[in-house]
Copies of this chain bind each other. A is one copy, B any other.
């Protein structure tokens, strides 16, 4: 049983799990753990780690269409160093402030490797779940995909580390998420990669999805680190951890949604009946992506 199967079992037994965040009254809550070995390649600053870890939870709040109100984090390290700890807190505070939320502290621990567990909460009276997509609607994505994949290439090559850190500090799409609640029928973030996200959304909504490959907005940073169109496509759609929003919007609402969304919103395909599966340019799109908790090989 891998993480996805396990999460399915949790979802089956707990009515509130299985979306980007759990809904408790008008509050949404989500939690994540990230650690050195799997999530922070050598060269990642602690400021970036704080931003990215807390940002990942804020992204889940955004994916529910909620207003992010606060975040907390547990910070655990092998040895406690005040300077790196403060850099982490600075990153956590700054990413919260960037979306109008408050970083309100947390817990300290000692661990065998640098580990952080972050939790964010938000408020909404109308959470957007993964399950509301209907055939005939459009499939859209905010911003561009592949920033994290591009950053990882730079980290691994030990090149342009400042740029790599910048790419790793993604903007959580809280404002976009709030705007899209008025238009989107289903929404989630792309933290597992576009391909896997589309499969998850399709499964939750019991629909299929047809993607138009040329329409998928791949970040220009990906061009700098890939040589072939196939590498570029894979970096943009499979690597994940980009924390963009993937949503479905009725045709009639699309123009207004694009106008109002504070970041680029791109139509990348259409919702189709479930029996047509998830495809790109007519070929099946494999359900492959980043499984959180796996080590990057």
A25 part of interface (Cβ distance < 8 Å): yes
Q: How many copies does the complex hold?
A: 2
CB distance from A1 to the nearest CB of B (A): 5
Which residues on B sit within 8 Å (CB–CB) of A117? 31, 33, 74, 117
User: What chain B residues lie within 8 Å of A82 (beta carbons)?
Assistant: 1, 6, 9
Expressed in whole angstroms, the Cα–Cα distance for A113 and B86 within the complex equals 26
Contact partner, A104, options B7, B14, B107, B108, Cβ 8 Å:
B14
Chain B contacts for A93, CB-based, 8 A: 14
Q: Which residues of B contact A105 (CB under 8 A)?
A: 10-11, 14, 16-18, 22
User: How would residues 2 to 45 of chain A score, 1 for a CB under 8 Å from any chain B CB and 0 otherwise?
Assistant: 11001101110110111000111101011111010110000000
- Are A80's CB and B6's CB within 8 A? yes
- In the complex, the chain B residue whose C-beta lies closest to that of A294 is B110
Task: From the candidates B10, B31, B104, name the one contacting A22 in the complex (CB within 8 A).
Answer: B104
- Is A292 interfacial (CB 8 A cutoff)? yes
| Nearest B residue to A13, CB-CB | B89
Of A65-73, A231-239, A273-281, the one contacting chain B is A65-73
Partner of A70, one of B24, B69, B80: B24
Closest CB-CB distance, A57 to chain B, in whole Å? 10
Contact A80 B14 (CB under 8 A): no
Q: Is A106 an interface residue (CB 8 A)?
A: yes
Question: Does residue A109 face the partner (Cβ distance < 8 Å to B)?
Answer: yes
List of B residues within 8 angstroms of A16 by Cβ: 70, 102, 104-105
Closest chain B residue, CB of each to CB of A101: B24
The CA of A27 and the CA of B294, in the complex, are separated in Å by 34
Q: Are B35 and A109 touching (Cβ within 8 A)?
A: yes
B24 x A121 contact (CB < 8 A): yes
A115 within 8 A of B: yes
Q: Contact string, A55-99, partner B, CB cutoff 8 A, digits 1/0?
A: 000000000000001101110100010100110010001000000
Is the CB–CB distance between B22 and A108 below 8 Å? no
Q: Does A295 contact B (CB under 8 A)?
A: yes
Task: Give A116 Cβ to nearest chain B Cβ, in Å.
Answer: 9
Complex contact A121–B29 (CB within 8 A): yes
Q: Which residues on the B side are within 8 Å of A18 (C-beta)? A: 105
Residues on the B chain within 8 Å of A23, using CB: 104
Q: Does A51 belong to the interface (CB within 8 Å)?
A: no
Given contacts A24-B69, A24-B70, A111-B115, 7 further A-B contacts (CB under 8 A): A13-B89, A14-B103, A24-B102, A27-B27, A27-B121, A74-B117, A121-B121
CB-defined A-B contacts under 8 Å, sample of 16: A1-B82, A9-B86, A10-B105, A11-B105, A17-B106, A18-B105, A22-B72, A24-B104, A27-B69, A31-B72, A32-B107, A33-B74, A33-B107, A33-B117, A35-B111, A109-B293
